Structure 1
Amino acid sequence: MPGRALAVGAHPDDVELYAGATLASWTASGCEVHILVCTDGSKGSWDVDEDPSRLVATRRDEQGAAIERLGATGEVAFLDRVDGELDADRATAHEVAAWIRRIRPDVLLGHDPWRRWRLHPDHRAAGFLVTDGVVAARDPHFLTDSGLAHHRPAELLLFDTEEPNHAEPVDEVAAAAKVAALLAHRSQHLSTMGIGADADGSQAGAFRAGILAELAEVGQRFDVPLAEGYRRIESL
């Protein structure tokens, strides 16, 4: 269990969706968990009348509430790139590298940029920002004017991967925290969770059951009851 972790997501809610149970489990064991969100979430609605600026503020608040539900007490930071327009350019990778140097995590988590058929460009870009950023963070001749000492995390865990080679076992408490954190993103209930008016709670119940089924499926693959899977890269 790491002493400090930094998880980098493309949008508000991505970290919770792909690594929420892991982070809840680590937090419960004393890990200091930090979150970096790359975009502002301004396009995350199916409502054509939604005000993007209002949605940005809403999603920022939801992200803070979600992390509290995971039990994390570390920093929640935003790069504030426009949703859908994230680029894996050198300048942004160096911003990510600077955050890695500031936080100095033992473990870095991010999207797997090599996942095939990944439609959303922000997910691909966020993944490459992490892989490129960790190189700039670890090597002393990058960011020489930043005043930040170079830092090499012990390992990189890539989530939403097709080829997991590592699983983080979680218990039912961590699984429940993941679900609670995701439900904090109320603006996403309809578009990504299938939860509408839901007067009787059946849709939220179905969403909860789906998350637990996913954790159980990964756990079965790695011979544990519940788990989240990653592509683990060591010797960074």
Structure 2
Amino acid sequence: MSVTDFVPPSAMVVVAHPDDAEFMCAGTIAKWTAAGCRVVYVVITKGDKGSDDPEMTTERLARVREAEQRAAGAILGVQAFEFLGYPDGYLQPTLELRRDLARVIRRHRPHTVITFDPTNRFFSDTYVNHPDHRAAGDAALDAVFPTARDRLTFPELLVDGYEPWKVRQVWLAPAAQPNTWVDISATLEQKKQALLAHPSQLGPEVVEFAESMARVAGAAHGLEAAEAFRRIILEADPVHEGAAYPG
């Protein structure tokens, strides 16, 4: 278990809903983009169920949430977005979803993928992990390995021009068994601002909660604030491993 200054040359964040990435890893993403990492957000669902307003429609909410996600990503320096358009609340780790994720992995060719830890069903004694989160994590891991790597899996991707790609690292969060922490002391305010860019979903009290969690994670390692991950190194990378990418 360690605190790391590692920065990959490129990264992809795969989440179920708009705003998931901000909770999961916004401080880390802001730190990485500032160091030259190219980051792509992949948002699987439209987030079109997250409203108690009886006047809200799924179509309008989807538009609102995509705009919020783009605004939040801009605060963090995210360079590209993929919105896969699956309906919120019904996500399953299907072969169709695995193929769609393999396609975007092959298109963007990320060094590192951040996604949900699908084994983490209970975050605490007061919260059950959303089923879409678990499905997104399962599908993303299966897309990374072995699907995106293997030439003969989903051969239609080859026809479309998407050559195989090996992701070097996977970072899972919120992790049931974290082994890596990133110091986000310098980017905590960006994380908070990115969370506030989702006003249809989040209020100041939720941002305060996220800040408190980051501070607790940091205090355990002598830091002002941190984000925790389970880091899995699928393939050694002596060029970038253990050092910041020079840009």
Deviation readout 1:92-115 (Å, 9 max, x if unpaired): 101101111111111100011111
Superposition RMSD in Å: 1.5
- TM-score, length-scaled by structure 1: 0.88
- TM-score, length-scaled by structure 2: 0.84
Task: Report whether the alignment pairs 1:182 with 2:192.
Answer: no
Amino acid at match of 1:102: R
CA contact (8 A) 2:185 2:223 kept: no
- For residues 37 and 168 of structure 2, what CA distance do their matches in structure 1 show? 15
Aligned positions of 1:134-213 closer than 5 A: 134-135=144-145, 136-146=147-157, 147-172=161-186, 174-189=187-202, 195=203, 204=204, 206-213=205-212
Task: Give the number of equivalent residue pairs.
Answer: 220
State the partner residue of 1:64.
70
State the partner residue of 2:226.
227
Indicate the larger mover: 215-224 or 105-114.
215-224
Displacement, 1:119? Answer: 4.1
- For residues 119 and 156 of structure 1, what CA distance do their matches in structure 2 show? 20
Aligned residue for 1:96, secondary structure, equals helix
Deviation readout 1:104-146 (Å, 9 max, x if unpaired): 1111000111112344211111011111110201222223231
Displacement, 1:161? Answer: 1.6
Displacement, 1:207? Answer: 4.2
Indicate the larger mover: 145-154 or 25-34.
145-154
Displacement, 1:222? Answer: 3.4
| Gap runs ≥5 in structure 1 | 190-194, 196-203
| Gap runs ≥5 in structure 2 | 1-6, 123-127, 236-247
State the partner residue of 1:95.
100
Bigger fraction of residues in helix? 1
State the partner residue of 2:139.
129
Aligned residue for 2:120, secondary structure, equals coil
Displacement, 1:217? Answer: 1.3
